[in-house]
Structure 1
Amino acid sequence: MAYSREALIEAVSTQMPDKRWKHTLGVMESSIKLAERYGADPVRAEEAAILHDVAKYWPVDSMKEIIEQNGLSAELLKHDKQLWHAEVGAFVAERDYGIIDPEVIAAIRFHTSGRVGMSLLEKIVCLADYIEPGRDFPGVENIRKLAKISLEEGLVAGFDSTISLLLEKRRIIFPLTVLARNDLVRLLEENK
């Protein structure tokens, strides 16, 4: 059963604290703007943005169970639990909210890590998650500036920021993020 936009917002907003819902509203706004700027469907971008953090505040055990019992990326279980909600959220978007658009599902799945060969919609939602108006971290203004010039430049700056922070904290870096970043750098080099 597919949800209307309003019903989807109502259902998803109850899955998280008010502060995270405010973040989601910012990602929705940023996704629409980026979609309009770069020629993607703003309705699909907003739908993915509404659902991108649907599982963010689920218990870790519940996310692990969904990953294990549904053949999702077992590789994730070896990495930071902060990554799990994207994979689980994509699964839940389809199972619980009737989302059948594979690009919307992929945009939810890869909004934290990116991947090699990101689609336009995946780039938009991932970048919107970095630059939404409520975000405040070192370098975010530069990422916002670059997002007005190029999705790829904005994402490379975003991934660089994440990777730098993880290096500084001596944390494990999810390999897909490094591969996604390198793929975007390669793409930018080829298009010079």
Structure 2
Amino acid sequence: MITINEQIVTFRKQLKSKLDTMRYEHSVSVSYTCIALAMRYGFSLEKAELAGLLHDCAKRYTDNELIARSQKHGLSLTESELKAPAVIHAKYGAWMARNKFGIQDEEILSAIQCHTTGKPGMGILDKILYIADYIEPRRDKASNLARMRYLAFQDLDQTMYEILAGTINYLKGKGGCIDPMTIQTFTWFEKLIQEKCSAAEAKGE
């Protein structure tokens, strides 16, 4: 029976042959960042590594190819996704993870599917992958990276809230399309943070 380590090595070889060099390096870097966060929060290292490694497996395809392949395999696409197809690689990537790489674990598939927009009620692996994709060592564009890299190891929910807020403000500033799911996710975390603050105040913390 194949071990998880053997499976990961096989996946790396497959991804290296299909993705461009920087995308592959990014995927490996995200996988290790996921592992670090999983260590911090007591989550499965193997699941975290697999989610990070495979999260961009569909990035080998162009936007038009992603749309065509999603439709071919019966994946429903929203109007917003069709207007900003860059996010579709997450949905199709989850399909590939299940059908091409044999991943059956629903937590891993969920994390891959929501790593671009997030979703209300995100589980721990969903948050780990979303954040790892933002803070991995090869990222260098976002102005708040230093704070997010620190905060990620203190509080996943606060980190999600601040990354989402920054992302929405950035997209608004450049006139970009904001997927409604990103707005819904931000609103969910905003409410969660407010509830946490209220609970802490009630306890006198």
TM-score scaled by length of structure 2: 0.88
1:127 aligns with 2:131: yes
User: What do residues 108-146 of structure 1 show as CA deviations (whole Å, max 9, x unaligned)?
Assistant: 000111001101110000000000011112111111121
What is the aligned partner in structure 1 of residue 186 from structure 2? 181
Measure how far apart 1:87 and its partner are: 0.6
What is the aligned partner in structure 1 of residue 83 from structure 2? 79
What is the aligned partner in structure 2 of residue 20 from structure 1? 23
What is the aligned residue count?
A: 191
Instruction: Tell me how large the CA RMSD over aligned residues is.
Output: 1.5
Q: Matches of 1:133 and 1:145 in 2, distance apart?
A: 12
User: What do residues 136-157 of structure 1 show as CA deviations (whole Å, max 9, x unaligned)?
Assistant: 1211111112112101111112
Q: Which runs of 5+ in 2 are unaligned?
A: 198-205
Moved over 3 A (4+): none
What is the aligned partner in structure 2 of residue 99 from structure 1? 103
Q: Secondary structure at the match of 1:55?
A: helix
- Radius of gyration: which is bigger? 2
Q: Matches of 1:48 and 1:91 in 2, distance apart?
A: 13
TM-score scaled by length of structure 1: 0.94
What is the aligned partner in structure 2 of residue 62 from structure 1? 65
Identity %, equivalent residues: 31
Q: Matches of 1:79 and 1:156 in 2, distance apart?
A: 25
Q: Matches of 1:77 and 1:188 in 2, distance apart?
A: 28
Q: Which runs of 5+ in 1 are unaligned?
A: none
Q: Matches of 1:15 and 1:169 in 2, distance apart?
A: 32
Equivalent AA in structure 2 for residue 7 of structure 1: T
